Amino acid sequence: MFMFLKELANLGAPSGFEDSVRNFLKEHAVADEIYTDSIGNLICHKKGAGKKVMVAAHMDEVGLLITGITDSGYLKFNALGGIETAVLCSKKVYIGEKKIPGIISAKAVHLQTSDEMSTPLKFKNMYIDIGASNRSEAEKKVSLGDAAVFDGEYTPFGNNLVKSKALDDRVGCAILLELMKETYDSDMYFVFTVQEEIGTRGAKVASYNIKPDIALVIEGTTCSDVYGSMEHNQVTRLGDGAVLTAMDRAAISNREYFNFIVEIAKENNIKLQIKKTIMGGTDAGAIVTSGTGVKTAVLAAPCRYIHSPVSVMNLSDYESLKELSKLVCKNIERSGL
């Protein structure tokens, strides 16, 4: 039922280092032609006679870039994507293709000044400990420019929930693989994009080259149904179904398209919730303004603790997202868009 999701979530692929995910997707993709463009997007084309439709999910996850090695063998780093330092201390990571294990840390509390204790941690005050005794020993394992990802294995828990790193957006990647098995009247481009987390760079290139008429972005998105969150601040909720975005900081969904998706969900009794915020951004921001403009919508699975070492998702929301995405793609030609 959840084919590919676990395998994809457990792969390490921060922005600019998407090879492992791209190789997995190539192996399992079903399309008339499959190719990688100049920036690294994987494009899977299922030929059709109707409108040109681009369905996108990004391969990359948030991570860390190694920017320095101290004389004592500790690694300095900065963020690849939007990560709050509050979630980092004492978290496990692995670095580079060799998956060198490390622990993120900072100066111990009892060694901090009163000013340091009252100020949020900054990246410059943190380091990764890989067990090296000095710079020379560390350099035998890690190089400047290597990337680190969180060590957060995909694990079922609770009532129909899973916890894992990188659900944003391995959820979308897994669903695209499932969608490719279907037949469509439209001319379908299933696009796995790179570098979404650092500025939707892959989507810019892909949409410019494909020139779609319509686009659907499939994502993992913020869920705030947690302790201490007032109901009006709970922008999405686990178990309430797929999420449809009206607007974010980078794009406004085409209103006809938006209403069409709502109609499809109602017709087929698929759970759907509307995202109650305009924060954030997705590949839609790059696609909607590409060329002469593209009618674009965003569907997502709600995930708690997104952009952290571990996110949480309800598998029923994943199922709603997959089924709704499939029906939207199958009915584009009758939509009048």
Residue 140 resides in a domain:
yes
* Annotated catalytic residue, options 18, 61, 178, 196: 196
**Are residues 137 and 171 located together in one domain of the fold?**
no
Q: Check residue 247 and give its pLDDT.
A: 87
Q: Which of 214-228, 243-257, 272-286, 295-309 has the highest mean pLDDT?
A: 295-309
Number of domains comprising the chain: 2
Are 94 and 149 spatial neighbours (Cβ–Cβ below 8 Å)?
yes
Specify whether 196 is catalytic. yes
CA within 13 Å, CB half, 93: 32
pLDDT surpassing 80 at residue 16: yes
- The pLDDT assigned to 2 comes to 65
Residue 276, classed as helix, strand or coil, is: coil
Q: How much is the pLDDT for 110?
A: 61
Gap between the Cα atoms of 187 and 247, Å rounded: 26
Is residue 278 in some structural domain?
Answer: yes
CATH number, position 67: 2.40.30.40
Q: What is the predicted pLDDT for the residue at 236?
A: 83
Going by pLDDT thresholds of 50, 70 and 90, the confidence category of residue 277 is: confident
Shared-domain flag, residues 11 and 126: no
Pair 92, 130: CB distance under 8 Å:
no
pLDDT band at 182 (very low <50, low <70, confident <90, very high): very high
Same domain, 195 and 121: no
To the nearest whole number, what is the mean pLDDT of the chain? 92
User: What are the angstrom distances between the C-alpha of 253 and each of 11, 24, 157, 198?
Assistant: 31, 31, 34, 22
Q: Does residue 157 lie in a domain region?
A: no
Domain end, chosen from 103, 118, 150, is at: 150
- pLDDT given at position 100: 97
Given a cut of 60, is residue 305 above it in pLDDT?
yes
315 and 246, same structural domain?
Answer: yes
Please give the single-letter amino acid code of residue 22. R
Q: What is the mean pLDDT of residues 322-328?
A: 97
**Residue 281 confidence (pLDDT):** 84
Q: Across residues 201-205, what is the average pLDDT?
A: 96
pLDDT of residue 234: 62
Point out the least confidently predicted range of 85-89, 98-102, 247-251, 267-271: 247-251
> Can you tell me the mean pLDDT for 41-54?
96
- DSSP H or E segment with residue 215: strand 214-223
Q: How many helices (H) and strands (E) does the chain have?
A: 9, 17
Q: List the single range of 81-90, 177-186, 205-214, 221-230 with lowest mean pLDDT.
A: 221-230
| pLDDT beyond 80 at 114 | no
Per-residue model confidence (pLDDT) at position 69: 97
* Domain end call among 150, 184, 200: 150
Ranges 84-88, 188-192, 305-309, most confident? 188-192
Average pLDDT rounded to a whole number, residues 141-148? 96
* Any domain includes 25: yes
State whether 169 and 240 are in the same domain.
Answer: yes
Tell me whether residue 260 is in a domain: yes
pLDDT of 4 higher than 70: yes
| 189 lies in the same domain as 238 | yes
The CATH number for 285's domain is 3.40.630.10
pLDDT(145) > 70: yes
What angle is formed at CA 89 by the lines to CA 302 and CA 106, rounded to 5 degrees?
155
Q: Are residues 81 and 40 part of one domain?
A: no
pLDDT above 60 (res 196): yes
Q: Which of 103-117, 150-164, 293-307, 309-323 has the lowest mean pLDDT?
A: 103-117
Q: 17 near 145, Cβ under 8 Å?
A: no
What six digits make up the tokens of 152? Answer: 């957060």
Please, are residues 44 and 54 in contact by the beta-carbon 8 Å criterion? no
- The amino acid occupying position 212 is P
Nearest to 92 by CA among 102, 100, 79: 102
Task: Decide which of 95, 126, 150 is a domain's last residue.
Answer: 150
What are 38's two structure tokens?
């100049």
Other Cβ atoms less than 10 A from the Cβ of 105: the count is 15
User: Does 54 share its domain with 84?
Assistant: no
Q: Is residue 160 in a domain?
A: no
Domain shared by 217 and 327, yes or no: yes
Beta strand 295-304 with 214-223 is parallel
Is there a single domain that holds both residue 169 and residue 298? yes
Give the tokens for residue 288: 């909607």
Which amino acid is located at 186 in the chain? S
pLDDT in tens, 223-263: 876 666 656 566 788 999 999 998 888 888 899 999 999 99
Q: Is the domain of 125 the same as that of 99? A: yes
Domain annotation covers residue 159: no
The parent domain of residue 91 ranges over: 63-150
Helices assigned H by DSSP within the chain: 5-10, 19-28, 114-117, 135-139, 167-179, 201-210, 255-267, 284-288, 315-330
230 or 177: whose pLDDT is higher? 177
Residue 253 counted as domain residue: yes
DSSP label at 252?
B
Tell me phi and psi for residue 25, to 5 degrees.
-65, -40
Are 206 and 248 part of one and the same domain? yes
